Amino acid sequence: MTEVTGTASRKADHIRINLEEDVRSGLTTGLERLRFIHQALPERSLADVDSSVTWFGKRLSAPLLISSMTGGTDEAHRLNQTLAQAAQAAGIAMGLGSQRAAVENPSLAFTFQVRNVAPDILLFANLGAVQLNYGYGLDQCRRAVDMIQADALILHLNALQEAVQPEGDANFSGLLGRIEAICRALPVPVIAKEVGWGFSEQVARQLAEAGVSAIDVAGAGGTSWSQVEMHRAKTATQRRVAAAFIDWGIPTAEAIQNVRRAAPHLPVIASGGLRDGIDVAKCIALGAGLGGLASPFLKAAAVSVEAVSETIGELSRELRIAMFASGAGTIAELQATPLLPAP
């Protein structure tokens, strides 16, 4: 119970810090160093640009994901309901935050459940992969998926976050084999995800060989979890240790290319520092299939459903205009559109 209470209060801290403090990485995504070749003569109507995609059998109006964030508290419940209503209205995907609190205390399950307002969306459950080294197995993974009627399970890899947390679970030994066992036995697809430091080519290859169905790169350039933990630190030493990692990680643009090289056919979700539809378009041109954002959606959800819908609307419009002005009529065409290094 103490543990569950601890998890819930950590979640509340995370929301507050992400809303109130500057927690940006010292790195940039690398997307700013890439540009499309402008097509002065697109030879199609903007109205004919089709940004829809199909993921795990579900059709999305645009390749957009509200990245995994929260659950476990009343405030998190409100945020999840707000995000899910806007996701349902727009026809985009959404992930829930780590469901560990509710796996350990089923009375918290309602804070993660959004099918009441979002019956049709592509929905991702979420657990920390490291929990597989702390007593979790197939049963807990199934419970996380069933609890929210998810279409897939995200196992997040947050080694650095756990390491800088005083209460962190930092034993990552032998985890790959356990992830492989879950991929083999779970009836829904498993997605491996970072939380803001990206994947190297080697780790992407190991995860692909372990049988994950997709990788969410969650690269560096956006929310930095060492910065979040710095704001939670109780002592000057904890604060300095966390602060030292402000520039750590593999920028999002590089991480996407790493995964593409390691596993050319594995679906890729791009996230980490994406802030407009042009960022999403560039990630897709690098080979990703979906673009995820966390922090911008959290800030909008703290305001209203309408604010989240407006954010989705702007992202979709920017993405569609970027497609139009770079000559791509579909997401498949965008994936084959070249990017140049910015001068």
Name the site residues for ligand FMN (rule: CB under 6 A).
14-15, 18, 67-70, 97-98, 126, 154, 156, 193, 195-196, 218, 222-223, 271-274, 293-295, 298
* Residue where the block lists tokens 């920017």: 318
How far, in Å, CA of 33 to CA of 254, rounded?
11
Orientation of helix 2-20 relative to helix 74-90, angle to 10°: 60
Write down the least CB distance from residue 159 to ligand FMN, Å: 13
Farthest-apart Cα atoms in the chain, separation: 63
Residues 231, 160, 56: CA angle, nearest 5 degrees: 105
DSSP label at residue 291: E
Instruction: Give min distance, CB of 37 to ligand FMN, in A.
Output: 27
- Could you tell me which of 294, 271, 308 has the C-alpha nearest to residue 83? 308
Q: List beta partners, residue 271.
A: 292
Cα 343 from Cα 341, distance rounded (Å)? 6
Smallest separation (angstroms) from ligand FMN to the CB of 56? 17
Minimal distance in Å, beta carbon 153 to ligand FMN?
A: 11
Residues in the chain: 343
DSSP for 17-41 reads: HHHHS--B-SS--SGGGEEE---S-
Q: Which is nearer to ligand FMN, 266 or 270 (CB)?
A: 270
Would you say 73 or 326 has its CB closer to ligand FMN?
Answer: 73
Shortest distance, position 215 Cβ to ligand FMN, whole Å: 12
CB nearer to ligand FMN: pick between 91 and 196? 196
Give the C-alpha separation, 191 to 188, whole Å.
10
Question: Least CB distance from residue 335 to ligand FMN, whole Å?
Answer: 21
| Residue least distant from ligand FMN (Cβ) | 222
Task: At 29, list the tokens.
Answer: 């995504």
Q: How far is CA 154 from the centre of its chain?
A: 9
Q: Tell the smallest beta-carbon distance from residue 324 to ligand FMN (Å).
A: 25
* Strand 190-193, strand 152-156: pairing: parallel
